[in-house]
Amino acid sequence: MRRASWMLSSWALLGPLAAGCGASHSHVTWSEDAAREDEAVFVARRPPPEPPAPSPTADPKAFAARYANPAVCEAAARRLQGASRDEAWDGLKACIEHTPFTQLNALLGRAWAQDLRVRPEGAKLIARVVAQRGGSVPGELRYLQEKQIPIFSLASAMDRPDTYKGRYVLLRAQVADQRSEGERPTVWLVEHALSSVQTDEVVGYGERIDSVTAYSGDVGGRGAASTVERSSRNTTRRFVENVSDETGREALGRLAGADPFLETRRDYVILARFDGVRLTSGGAETDDEAPRIPVLTIVSYHAPQALVVY
């Protein structure tokens, strides 16, 4: 039986189409296998996920050691506030206590203002940062008062004892003597302040010429003049150093117990509570001109760093 020509033409068209479909299917299968292999290689090369940061409450040293510098550490502690303000505060303390933290602006910023108002250790952290910035107390106190932080100077407390009684004072001082009053030891504090001194030191050679003219003569007015020149070569450079000097103010500081680390003749930045003034020996209570000395309860003390940061 003869087939219609159109049927033959249809089969002729279906043959290449079927072959094409088979080729297309084979190509798709190869692409999926290659993609899986590429994905496996990518997963194998990808570094393992970074472990979570240590909890500042459980391990404050590890938390602080994780970050490259104090500013990054403070930012990481601030990010914890959304989950837990207590843990965030522990993170901030870890940054201050275990890194060379000098970011006083960040500490007194809006992010930590609420914590500084309600947490009792806030004043201690401020005193520590002041010490780590070099211990230039008068300049730092001006900044604290601009931020309405209730920490004051010893001079202000001595001028108005009734106003400042019970408030915090911050001072830079040396221990001149230690005594015992019952079970509570007392230290004699001499307040110090930093001042800058300029010095010139020879660091190389340069040219300098000095000319000296001498006159000689007799009674008759006859005389002669001679000139002598001297030259030298040196180069000097000006250096500015910080020097700690006494301010003339002294105070008695009470301690909760004997502290062997509070050494004499060494500068400290001291945070204390002002307890008022008392008469020195030989003064009469009714004598308004009798010498009085301020009495402080030492809350914390910190050795200042050598560099002053403004």
* Amino acid at the residue 196: S
What pLDDT does 122 receive? Answer: 97
Instruction: State whether 65 and 188 are in the same domain.
Output: no
Instruction: State whether 161 and 252 are in the same domain.
Output: yes
| Residue 8 pLDDT exceeds 70 | no
Q: Is 149 helix (H, G, I), strand (E, B) or coil?
A: coil
Supply the mean pLDDT for the chain.
Answer: 81
Q: Would you put residue 166 in left (φ > 0), alpha (ψ -120 to 50) or beta? A: left
Cβ within 8 Å of residue 62, ≥6 positions away:
54
Q: Are the CB atoms for 276 and 163 separated by under 8 Å?
A: no
CA distance 283 to 280: 6
What pLDDT does 1 receive? Answer: 46
- Determine, yes or no, domain membership for 265: yes
Q: Tens of pLDDT along 208-256?
A: 666 666 666 555 556 666 666 666 666 767 766 778 899 999 999 999 9
- Determine, yes or no, domain membership for 304: yes
Detail the DSSP E strand segments found in 182-266.
Answer: 184-204, 208-217, 223-232, 235-254
Instruction: State whether 68 and 119 are in the same domain.
Output: yes
| Residue 26 pLDDT exceeds 70 | no
Residue at a domain's end among 84, 111, 133: 133
Residue at a domain's end among 117, 133, 149: 133
Supply the pTM of this predicted model.
0.71
Domain region containing 171:
134-197+240-309
- Determine, yes or no, domain membership for 207: no
Strands 223-232 and 235-254: unpaired
What pLDDT does 290 receive? Answer: 73
Q: What is the mean pLDDT of residues 145-166?
A: 96
Residue at a domain's end among 98, 133, 168: 133
Q: Tens of pLDDT along 64-88?
A: 999 989 999 999 999 999 999 999 9
CATH classification of the domain holding 303: 2.40.50.140
What pLDDT does 75 receive? Answer: 96
149 phi, psi to nearest 5 deg: -90, 125
250 phi, psi to nearest 5 deg: -130, 160
Instruction: State whether 157 and 119 are in the same domain.
Output: no
Q: Tens of pLDDT along 125-139?
A: 999 999 999 999 999
